[in-house]
A and B are shown apart, each in its own frame.
Chain A
Amino acid sequence: DQQVKQNSPSLSVQEGRISILNCDYTNSMFDYFLWYKKYPAEGPTFLISISSIKDKNEDGRFTVFLNKSAKHLSLHIVPSQPGDSAVYFCAASDVGGGSNYKLTFGKGTLLTVNP
């Protein structure tokens, strides 16, 4: 049973436009959410996170939105740049439940930003 779902395997956008990556989760105990970016032959790199007590977190060109009632989060990248082309993973954790901060990952979305 997949608890974190990224239903779009790939996304292609033009440079300068907005990229929106989506993620859904089923476990209502998740209270901490993260996005990671991964380039080929490298490890995932932390991008941005959000706690369930917030509905938005912003860091430069990256904004994460959380809709708890819909169990949905999204990552907005504005403006998109060719260097943003990578696989993006959504991850979730049940921090309050004493999970030792274990992460459950989605399958990833390949973002391609075209010049």
Chain B
Amino acid sequence: DAGITQSPRHKVTETGTPVTLRCHQTENHRYMYWYRQDPGHGLRLIHYSYGVKDTDKGEVSDGYSVSRSKTEDFLLTLESATSSQTSVYFCAIRDGSNQPQHFGDGTRLSIL
């Protein structure tokens, strides 16, 4: 298994509260990605990083921010959580060319 740890694995919180999800890798891979999975939508890219302090938006970035201060950690923050952000969040990593992304086991986030 690729060395990817997502924390927490489950979280329940209230609307309007800030939430931070963590993705930690032990593979020293350059690229890291955050996706959300919702019924009827597959996986959609939120933000990604192509190096320390280098990040960019994905398809569904509104309401989310990210930070990558060191290679091994990629944080996803919901500044003020809304019920529409209830979802399962997956982190993925990859290294060089012609290599697939490898995924963590996900964080199930419920916003009440």
Residues of A within 8 A of B (CB): 4, 6, 32, 34, 36, 41-46, 49, 51, 89, 91, 95, 100-108
Cross-interface CB contact of A44 among B41, B44, B94, B103, cutoff 8 Å: B103
At the interface, yes or no: B74 with Cβ under 8 Å from chain A?
Answer: no
| Cβ–Cβ contact B45 & A43, under 8 A | no
Q: Which B residues are within 8 Å of any A CB, using their own CB? A: 4, 31, 33, 35, 40-45, 48, 50, 56, 58-59, 90, 92, 94, 97-98, 100-106
A46 CA to B90 CA, complexed, in Å = 14
Please determine whether B48 and A102 come into contact, CB atoms closer than 8 angstroms.
yes
How far apart are A56's CB and chain B's nearest CB, in angstroms?
Answer: 17
CB distance from B62 to the nearest CB of A (A): 17
Residues of B within 8 A of A91 (CB): 43
Write out the residue numbers on chain A whose beta carbons fall within 8 Å of the beta carbon of B33: 102-103
Whether A42 contacts B101 by the Cβ 8 Å rule is no
Interchain residue pairs with CB less than 8 A apart (9): A41-B105, A41-B106, A43-B105, A100-B48, A101-B94, A102-B33, A102-B48, A102-B58, A103-B43
Whether the Cβ atoms of B43 and A105 lie closer than 8 Å is yes
Alpha-carbon gap, A41 to B103, bound state (A): 12
Which residue of A32, A45, A102 is within 8 Å of B103 (Cβ)?
Answer: A45
B56 and A101 within 8 A (CB): no
